[in-house]
Amino acid sequence: MDRPNTALLEAVAALATAPLPDIAHRLRAALSPYWASSSLVIFTEDCTGRPQKKAGDEAIISRVSIAELDAIRAALLDANAGIWRGEAAFGGEKRPLLAVTSPSNALLVLSDPQPAPASHGGPDGQWILHYLWTLAAERIREKVADAPPSYLIESRAASAERLRVTAELVDQHSTTLEALLAALRSPALTAAAARTAATDVAAKALVGLRTLSDRTTDLVEEPVASAFQRLREDLRPLMNFSGIDVQFIEPPVNGRALPGEVAHAARAIVRGLVLAMVDQEGVRRVRTQWDCDGVNLLINVRDDGHGELSASSPAMARLVQRVEVLNGSMGVDVMPGWGSDIAVVIPLDPPARPLAEVADWNLGEREVEVLQLLAAGQRNRGIAAKLHISENTVKFHLRNLYRKIGATSRTEAMALAHSNGRR
């Protein structure tokens, strides 16, 4: 048997036995004699918790979004063919792409694709691409169908974490849109003043959106007073233009600093509560208060409405779930004719969770230490300080961790670590 055929058979065997976390790497290796590419991304709805499998240039694959993949899939459907070549946004930039679908509706995307020169009598590169991709897509479908309970738990945990992060962004954008509408509808503003106010709100929101990722990545702890001040700034446009009097009862200046995740989530929860309250008829005043007893963040939000807030509404149920994710509690006291009074308690420290046996992940000793600190909510700076290593070294270990445990982001890695610790 000649060498090209032997290499192809070896590639087929590697794909046929590939575990899910390695499927993208093995597919890219199998395709490399026939197609060069800067990155390879698989997008499949079979894996709800981890729909993307990635290999290649980290600067590209770390920035690929589901919205970009959906747009590429739409272009593929518009072409009414099993393969599409063109330019589209991918990893935050416009790039040459090759996209292929599969019978299981999974999507394969290669960036900067370059076919290898065809050898005389050798297999056609496009046929090889279809063949190996169909094999990989079927392998994914079979592995998910036969997944053990542990995989399903991890997948659901990752899905829940992604949903939580998305919901926080939805609330933040909803606050901005409510403020824009309030400015544009305000009878106290002229048309020109309303446009100016709306432009200012939109510009501030864009700046905040662009800096959100860096801000939350670098933030390990935040003084409770400054965290509360940022909440005030988030809600200021709504206060200015909606006619609702949003009152703030300041927390103690010398209270314990909040873990970054608690401060970020608490602001999102209060924003959601305020939006739910101002959506009621007759509400003219909302009061929010934070306090810290050294162990818990204590939040109280009250309105002066008719007491019609439904504790079972989808918006409120979603907020309750957010609080429970933080191991906190929410009490809703609705008094007909007197308004609503909501109390939230969020622990500042995560509960002790012993990390279960992770031998199947083949982690090194240092990787286990990094994973334990990651699961405890530490950011890169905190991990580096505790292990006496540089932040670049932490990033190196995290990249290896993501690959070994099949995570595509920090939040998925945390979710997998937590679900493994519960078993």
Give the tens place of pLDDT for each residue, 41-85: 998 865 555 667 888 988 888 888 888 888 898 888 887 777 899
pLDDT per residue over 206-240, tens digit each? 766 655 544 444 445 678 888 888 888 888 877 77
pLDDT of residue 218: 40
CA distances from 54 to 43, 112, 173, 421 (A): 9, 15, 29, 26
Greatest mean pLDDT among 237-251, 287-301, 353-367: 287-301
Answer for the pair 340, 307: CB distance below 8 angstroms, yes or no. Answer: yes
Burial of 390 (0-12, 13-18, 19+ CB in 10 A): exposed
CA 220 – CA 208 distance, rounded (Å): 18
Read off the pTM.
0.43
Answer for the pair 30, 22: CB distance below 8 angstroms, yes or no. Answer: no
pLDDT per residue over 116-169, tens digit each? 876 655 667 788 888 899 888 888 877 765 554 444 444 545 555 555 556 666
